[in-house]
Structure 1
Amino acid sequence: MKIYWSNNSVPELQGLDKHKQLDLRFRAVKANRHNPRLWLGLVAVFSVYLGILAFLLYAIPFSGIQILIQITLMLLFHFWFNQYLIWLIRPHLRLYRLALDKTYSNDDDDYFVPPAY
């Protein structure tokens, strides 16, 4: 699995300005809102996060290192879920990018976003 560090590393978003990248990503996430894989992935990654957090916090006596562990695990949780989310929305991004690159003769300022199924 390829790791995507930013929106520029996602092939479907390369070459677009930052505003368009965020707009297409927002539309793809919105289209996936009712996808059960999105919510199951969130629950799975969050469960792993809570399991590791509980194990480490109860295994290590209270000290300043617990705060570091919490922050590190929170960043890892965010990274894991972001990677999963990009993997999940890439088909929608591909459709949106194809529709965006297609030229329309009647209105060039507006672009069509196909429905996500």
Structure 2
Amino acid sequence: MQKKFLFVMRSAPRDGARVRESLDMAMTAAAFDQTVRLLMLDDGVFLLKRGQRAEPSGPKPVAPLFEALALYDVEDVWVERESLRGRHLTTDDLVIPVRVVDRTEIAGLTAEHDIVISC
């Protein structure tokens, strides 16, 4: 039976291990023909920021991993408008196409899914 998964990503890029684990879960679910969608909130919008560079002692950038999502048929990535604005970003700053949603839409989006995982 197919389930709808929503991964809500709030962590900043510095939490690279947590983000990688979340993306692994998302891609695994998608590989088993589950519907997988991502919602980027708060500092999670920085995960998609173009041009990230690794610092010698820091985690590797995770933005390239998001580009691989299309290989798993994960095409619905939503970004909260208020999170983008609050961090002075636009969709042009992001590595993949996203759909921008208002904060008021988030409750409805989460209600549409069988499983919601906050990362």
TM range (shorter): under 0.3
Higher helix fraction (1 or 2): 1
Please report the TM-score for the alignment, with normalisation by the length of structure 1. 0.23
Rg (Cα) greater in structure: 1
Of Structure 1 and Structure 2, which has the larger fraction of its residues in strand?
2
